[in-house]
Structure 1
Amino acid sequence: MRLLEHHAAVVEGQVSAIAHQANQAHIQTALQVSPTLDPQQEVERRVAFLYRQLVSTGQKSLVLGISGGVDSTVAGRLAQLAVEKARQEGVEAHFYAMRLPYDTQQDEEDAHQALAFIQPDNVLTVNIQAASDALLASLEAGGLGFTDAHQRDFVLGNIKARQRMVAQYAVAGANAGLVVGTDQAAEALMGFFTKYGDGACDIAPLTGLTKAQVRQLGAVLGAPEALVEKQPTADLETLKPQPADEEALGFSYADIDAFLTGEQISEGARATIIQTYQRSAHKRQLPITP
């Protein structure tokens, strides 16, 4: 009996591994990931994409929040190059880079370094603290309660992310603009973004790129190495500022990227990543309808 049970367990494990391999391949396709790419060609392709979207929609500007991380640094430079290409073609176009700190950002110097590299046409600074705190206070005055300080801080973090997008769409609305997003394949895979916050945008030029590939584009663009290799952090929490993304995710970006490019990772890690992708499906879809 024990031999039969062992054989059944082995077969079940093999079937599960095959199913996970199929899911992994499906996810790679769904997220438009290419295991290999030419960084210079990708820069040119994505600048052209932004240019075409700007021209085809009849809009006159691109808008993006710059945090000082590699994603917004790369997306910001791509946006600036796209509007410069448009102007060379006789099309009116401008890029609005936005600084959107909550109070004082701990890595503010990185954001300024990113702006110096991007060289945007316009820089607007909007401190979202007053708006974020006022909304949370109004919610609590209206009867919203929290189980503890950490839950309250989590909710405030999502409010911050959505206030930043409110500000960007206000600037876009005033300047006939499109809001640029920084979502890439690693964050899309894990659902590591705030729905209708940093996950909201009109155009997402980093789609399909792994974290390592975003860094490759940054290096080709000539971004400062300190920003290209900077440890990513969402920086939405007040009680524990700037926790590393990898700490929050429970996985290294190396593991996530390996999953996306079809490399071997442990079966346990692969199963958990697939489960996380499935649980966060609602974040990647339009609103569910009857």
Structure 2
Amino acid sequence: MHDIQREIIDALHVKENINPDREVREIIDFLKNYKYHHDFIESFVLGISGGQDSTLLGKLAQMAVEELREEGHTIHFYGVRLPYGTQLDMNDVDDAIAYINPDFDVTINIKNAVDASVKALNNASFHISDFVIGNEKARERMKAQYAIAADRKGVVLGSDHAAEALTGFYTKFGDGAADVMPLTGLNKRQGQQILKYLNCPEHLYLKVPTADLESDRPLLSDEDALQVSYKDIDDFLEGKTVPVAAFNRIIHLYKVSQHKRDKPYHRYLKPKYMEE
């Protein structure tokens, strides 16, 4: 194994193998302990996209709040649908919500807010490309979740995991912004293992992953966008040998996305690579 591969695996806290039962217990206990230490919390809030990651975290969050209520705590889970207009894979969102069975099923359509923002920027002579509009969608979704959390004394959960952290495949201050990231350390196939263990409908965890942010390229797969497969990403994170081209692509993505994993830079905090 290359030194940089080991360094990345350690930094992202990835295990070579997982026990789904143990992971479920650890994540639920993690969420419960967060509530124990923050008395103000009365809700967990999460956007539900119909994809693997939010389906997994939504299920675990609902399980956590049900255990907390059995212990006498007042807390609820809000599963939030956040379509931009009409979502092409809305049937998957419906199925994910049915599987999770959240305390509250909320829909906030972000189209008017995003379009107004883009119009204002264009009127100010900024050219906002379809790709950048995708980032606007992600940030508007997170903004809506924080508004819900503020109103319901809650915190926002984030579904980012090791495979996304490795590649930087998330929007900075969009889906990359949250109060709590319970799926840290898991890769894609490990998330699938846990959903299978939790009796999730197979089509939800075998669904082709897509961020679906670009209107010009609807439902563009993550793998097409990243130019590397999740199999190779997961193998890399589990310390296995991957093809040279995939290895080089993964290392490139990791390096160019380092700024997303850094804390905001200020005068008294310098990342190690800037200390020279």
- Into which bin does the TM-score normalised by the smaller protein fall? over 0.9
Q: Judge conservation of contact 2:228–2:249 (CA < 8 Å) in 1.
A: no
Partner of residue 73, structure 1: 55
Partner of residue 186, structure 1: 163
Q: Secondary structure at the match of 1:57?
A: coil
Partner of residue 32, structure 2: 51
Q: Using structure 1 for the length normalisation, give the TM-score.
A: 0.90
Deviations 1:19-56 (A, max 9, x none): xx000000000000001010111011101101111221
Find runs of 4+ consecutive structure 1 residues off by over 3 angstroms: none
Find the aligned partners of 1:171 and 1:138 in 2 and give their Cα distance: 25
Considering fraction of residues, name the structure with more helix: 1
How many matched pairs? Answer: 266
The one of 60, 73, 90 aligned to 2:42: 60
Deviations 1:84-110 (A, max 9, x none): 111011011100010000000000000
The one of 122, 131, 136 aligned to 1:154: 131
The reply to whether residue 235 of structure 1 matches residue 215 of structure 2 is no
Partner of residue 270, structure 2: none
Partner of residue 135, structure 1: 117
Deviations 1:139-184 (A, max 9, x none): 01112125xxxxx101110000000000000000001111000101
User: What letter corresponds to residue 21 of structure 2 in structure 1?
Assistant: Q
Deviation at 1:273, TM superposition (A): 1.1
Q: Using structure 2 for the length normalisation, give the TM-score.
A: 0.95
Find the aligned partners of 1:278 and 1:83 in 2 and give their Cα distance: 38
Deviations 1:56-80 (A, max 9, x none): 1111110000000010000000000
Find the aligned partners of 1:54 and 1:134 in 2 and give their Cα distance: 36
Find the aligned partners of 1:127 and 1:68 in 2 and give their Cα distance: 15
The reply to whether residue 30 of structure 1 matches residue 7 of structure 2 is no
Deviations 1:100-145 (A, max 9, x none): 0000000000000000000100011000000000000000111212
Structure 2: which 5+ runs fail to align? 268-276
Structure 1: which 5+ runs fail to align? 1-17, 147-151
Deviations 1:194-223 (A, max 9, x none): 000000001111110010000011111111
Partner of residue 94, structure 2: 112
Find the aligned partners of 1:26 and 1:240 in 2 and give their Cα distance: 35
Q: Name which one, 1 or 2, has greater alpha-carbon Rg.
A: 1
Partner of residue 9, structure 1: none
Find the aligned partners of 2:253 and 2:101 in 1 and give their Cα distance: 37
Partner of residue 39, structure 1: 20
Find the aligned partners of 1:227 and 1:57 in 2 and give their Cα distance: 33
